[in-house]
Amino acid sequence: MTTRHFLTLLDLSTGELEQLIQRASELKKMQHAGEIFEPLKNQVLGMIFEKSSTRTRVSFETGMAQFGGSAIFLSSRDTQLGRGEPIEDSARVLSSMVDAVIIRTFEHQMVERFADYSSVPVINALTDDYHPCQLLADMQTYVEHRGSIRGKTVTWIGDGNNMCHSYMNAALRFGFHLNITTPEGYEPKSEVGQQPATKTENRTSSFTLMNDPIEAATGSDLIVTDVWASMGQEDESSTRNEVFKRYQVDSELMSHANSDALFMHCLPAHRGEEVSAEVIDGKQSVVWDEAENRLHAQKALLEFLLSQ
């Protein structure tokens, strides 16, 4: 049996991802109907967190409990990993005891090194470069509200950060066009755009960098933003607040998107910074469904990875 990991969206094929999103909606219906479904009885998820979290921690822990398994929260403050035990050693030891591991950390390379030495699936619960679990929930949310995202236009506005990189991967896998608008110097890493489509997908990367937020939002089906200073960039907050001012998603900007456009934000949000209260609390915003779907999408992911 091969161990599959989920470090970026590109670890799964388009077909696998589309099936996973569909399964997430099924699991959601089952859970809302009060159906007990425990495919992971006696299985244990190790959860390593080197950064804060509300949604990711609670959705994975709850998902494991609903599936009949359990989860162990491992804060870097309390583990030997946090005191310098090599990643490779930690990976070998932990994966000899638990059935899957999720990791939220800084350098993306850390999850890659951990996965290289892990005998069980490793899931990226956010690194400085990617946040693939969030994209599963975002894609599920879009599909539930509007149907297929294939061929649609999505606009990323704000920082070219981990979420933006995962949106670039999603454009490739789910077949939508991504407009990216960031202040100069805050563009996404260029190497993310160079990851090739797999042969069977016969598709090329589909994103455009734009300077003007209004131009980027025009004709868009989905507007997405995120905080201007991510975890680890707290010191840059005041500089970034100045630089990013023009990139707030407000009602004026939303008025340039298609009339049925949705608004998403992975949360936590800062009203009055990257998004106005009017937009995030308004009719086009689906942020609460998006947050809830973390639970269902990750249950589908756990079921998929643990049944390989």
Window of 48-56, 87-95, 200-208, 216-224 that interacts with ligand CP by CB under 6 A: 48-56
Q: Are 289 and 173 in contact (CB under 8 A)?
A: no
Residue 90 or 230 having the CB closest to ligand NVA? 230
Q: Which does 230 bind (CB under 5 to 8 A by kind): ligand CP, ligand NVA, none?
A: ligand NVA
Parallel, antiparallel, or unpaired: how do β-strands 222-225 and 262-265 relate?
Answer: parallel
Out of 95, 230, 248, 293, the only residue in the binding site for ligand NVA (CB under 6 A) is: 230
Separation of alpha carbons 258 and 283, rounded Å:
14
Residue 210 or 280 having the CB closest to ligand CP? 280
Catalytic residue among 43, 134, 140, 248: 134
Binding flag, residue 140, ligand CP (CB under 6 A): no
Q: Is 131 a catalytic residue?
A: yes
Q: Is 116 a catalytic residue?
A: no
Q: At what angle do helices 162-174 and 14-32 cross, to 10 degrees?
A: 100
Binding flag, residue 231, ligand NVA (CB under 6 A): yes
Sequence-ordered list of residues with C-beta below 8 angstroms from that of 122, at least 6 positions apart, any chain: 5, 6, 7, 91, 100, 101, 102, 103, 111, 114, 115
Q: Which does 273 bind (CB under 5 to 8 A by kind): ligand CP, ligand NVA, none?
A: none
Binding flag, residue 30, ligand CP (CB under 6 A): no
Out of 71, 227, 269, 300, the only residue in the binding site for ligand NVA (CB under 6 A) is: 227
The DSSP output letter for 275 is B
Distance set, CA 2 to CA 5, 45, 132, 152, 176 (Å): 10, 18, 21, 34, 30
Binding flag, residue 266, ligand CP (CB under 6 A): yes
Amino acid at position 4, single letter: R
Starting at the edge strand found earlier in the chain, the sheet holding 177-181 runs: 207-210, 177-181, 153-157, 222-225, 262-265
Q: Give the residue at shortest CB distance from ligand NVA.
A: 230
Query: ∠ at Cα 42 (36, 43), nearest 5°?
Result: 100
In 3D, which of 16, 304, 268, 266 has the Cα closest to residue 141?
266
Give the nearest distance from C-beta 93 to ligand CP in angstroms: 25
Window of 41-49, 51-59, 87-95, 245-253 that interacts with ligand CP by CB under 6 A: 51-59
Q: Which residues are catalytic?
A: 104, 131, 134, 226, 266, 294
* Residue ranges that bind ligand CP, judged by CB under 6 A: 53-56, 126, 134, 266-267
* Residue ranges that bind ligand NVA, judged by CB under 6 A: 126, 131, 161-163, 226-227, 230-231, 266
